[in-house]
Amino acid sequence: MLKKKSLFRILIISLGTWIVFSYIILPLRLEGQSMEPNYPDGGFRFCWLQKYFFLEPEHGDVVAIRFAGKRVVLLKRIVALAGETVEFRNGILFVNNQRVEEPYVRYRSNWNLPSRQVARGRVYVVGDNRGISMHRHHFGQVDMQRILGGVLW
């Protein structure tokens, strides 16, 4: 039989764990190739759920986005902010008509996407693995409310 002290400790640890993993840090198991090789398929990361309560999103931030329901989360990189224009020309990213250097992209593409402006309250996200066909990628404008937080390391 457990002593009252032991039962209390188990309760405190359980409550603390629930709070941390429900409101502060979300563990993520990665599935898919859209962020390879930086975030490989089958990898494991953590998402800081409170990041954008304290900070504004920035170019290059990797974020976790609620895609469908509570269990489907996409990992994507922010490439443009609200009010900016974004386009791809032969696989090269342009933001506000300026070429963007993307050292994190290792697999280049020949993507072409006409210029579009990012709406207020949104960011433009795309995966790092541009070697995948444009039609197989989930990317584009995302409402800030769909962003769960920033990915840690």
In the predicted structure, residue 71 carries a pLDDT above the cut 80: no
In the predicted structure, residue 12 carries a pLDDT above the cut 70: yes
For the chain, the average pLDDT equals 90
Q: What is the pLDDT of residue 35?
A: 92
**Token pair listed for 48:** 């800081």
Collect all residues with Cβ–Cβ distance below 8 Å to 61 and sequence separation of at least 6. Answer: 77, 78, 150
Domains and CATH numbers, the chain: 25-152 (2.10.109.10)
Sign of CA dihedral 62, 64, 66, 71: positive
In the predicted structure, residue 1 carries a pLDDT above the cut 70: no
CA 143/CA 85 separation, integer angstroms:
16
pTM: 0.87
Query: What H or E segment, with its residue span, contains residue 16?
Result: helix 4-19
**Token pair listed for 18:** 């629930």
What is residue 11's DSSP assignment?
H
In the predicted structure, residue 2 carries a pLDDT above the cut 70: no
- Per-residue pLDDT averaged across 8-17, rounded? 90
In the predicted structure, residue 107 carries a pLDDT above the cut 90: no
